[in-house]
Amino acid sequence: MNLANPQLNDHGELIHLLSLDGLPREILHGILDRAAPFTAVAEREVKKVPLLRGKSVFNLFFENSTRTRTTFEIAAKRLSADVINLNINTSSAAKGESLLDTVDNLAAMQADMFVVRHASSGAPYLIAQHLAATGRNHIHVVNAGDGSHSHPTQGLLDMYTIRHYKRDFTKLTVAVVGDILHSRVARSQLHALVTLGVPEIRLVGPKTLLPAAAARMIEKGPLRVCHDINEGLRGADVVMTLRLQNERMQGALLPSPQEYFKSYGLTPEKLELAKPDAIVMHPGPMNRGIEIDSAVADGKQAVILPQVTFGIAVRMAVMSMLAGSQ
């Protein structure tokens, strides 16, 4: 394990996918390039390739998720892996077993890959470090979302989508709108956008939903904070809306979903401020009428369903790449 970046080995190859923070441009493009042919697999009669035949992929979900777990499961199965789903919320953690004990037990069942979702930021790092410390570097870890920290495969599928529709990252203005404070999706998007050379990234939301140090989230990143959504959308090529995560709202962050929709909901009128060919993205699941108007979600600029399709190809790319590394 590389101490400066635990997800790379000493040769700079990806051994885990923990975050998009610190991944060089070549690796990001490498994953996107690898994903492209996998989109065709889904259109075949037999939707399977044998790249992970005989490998065991454990979906370790310490936090509930149906959608993400399903897409990982489909991706692994299309690669011919054996997939074991574990919903830890309802099993060992409830019996008091520690995270690392769970990992040790599953590793003893000859796992080849852990796909991990956890409510605590950094939990997949702890697992990867533990595997390295106990000499089990051959087990790969894929972060499927940790706390507010990272959701790298979502970030990658978003980049795949942008590249598919816009080709060149270096001329784009991207607006990220919504609950950036709690969003692991936003953090992954920002790292990838900066690394891929996007020259202007706007963070749009009320002060209560932005980190106090929002503009310093990424060093030397071209981040601009906009509290006014009109200013944030003007001339944008890509509008990335975020889910307003109701379950994370602990305090007095917002007065009401209605007022949020009025101030920051993406409506056709507001979208007109963006470039005419701007695309609208959303990581799902959507709250219609809160962060996005149905007319936009179902409109011709929305690429939300293609995101889902690309997501499977991108996850196949990540898993096959990791399984091929040593």
Angstrom CA distances, 89 to 64, 101, 104, 184, stand at 7, 15, 17, 20
Query: Is the Cβ of residue 121 or residue 267 nearer to another protein in the bound state?
Result: 121
Tokens of 237: 């090529």
Query: Is the Cβ of residue 193 or residue 278 nearer to another protein in the bound state?
Result: 193
Query: Is the Cβ of residue 250 or residue 326 nearer to another protein in the bound state?
Result: 250
As measured in angstroms, the least distance from the Cβ of 39 to another protein is: 30
Query: Is the Cβ of residue 40 or residue 213 nearer to another protein in the bound state?
Result: 213
Query: Is the Cβ of residue 184 or residue 202 nearer to another protein in the bound state?
Result: 184
DSSP states along 184-222: HHHHHHHHHHHHTT-SEEEEES-GGGS-TTGGGSSTT--
Query: Is the Cβ of residue 130 or residue 234 nearer to another protein in the bound state?
Result: 130
Give the burial class of 110: count Cβ atoms within 10 A of its Cβ; 0-12 exposed, 13-18 middle, 19 or more buried: exposed
Query: Is the Cβ of residue 92 or residue 309 nearer to another protein in the bound state?
Result: 92
Interface with another protein by CB under 8 A: which residues? 6, 21, 98-100, 118, 120-123, 125-126, 129-130, 146-150, 184, 187, 211-214, 216-219, 250
Going 19 to 164 to 321 to 242, the CA torsion angle's sign is positive
Query: Is the Cβ of residue 56 or residue 188 nearer to another protein in the bound state?
Result: 188
Residue 285 CB contacts under 8 Å (≥ 6 apart), including other chains: 67, 243
**In 81-146, alpha helices (H):** 99-107, 123-133
Task: Please tell me whether residue 95 adopts helix, strand or coil conformation.
Answer: helix
As measured in angstroms, the least distance from the Cβ of 163 to another protein is: 24
As measured in angstroms, the least distance from the Cβ of 110 to another protein is: 23
Q: Could you say which DSSP state residue 4 is in?
A: T
As measured in angstroms, the least distance from the Cβ of 314 to another protein is: 21
As measured in angstroms, the least distance from the Cβ of 19 to another protein is: 9
As measured in angstroms, the least distance from the Cβ of 181 to another protein is: 8
Going 157 to 160 to 162 to 165, the CA torsion angle's sign is negative
Task: Please tell me whether residue 143 adopts helix, strand or coil conformation.
Answer: strand
Give the burial class of 233: count Cβ atoms within 10 A of its Cβ; 0-12 exposed, 13-18 middle, 19 or more buried: buried
Q: Are 212 and 261 within 8 A, CB to CB?
A: no
As measured in angstroms, the least distance from the Cβ of 283 to another protein is: 15
As measured in angstroms, the least distance from the Cβ of 180 to another protein is: 9
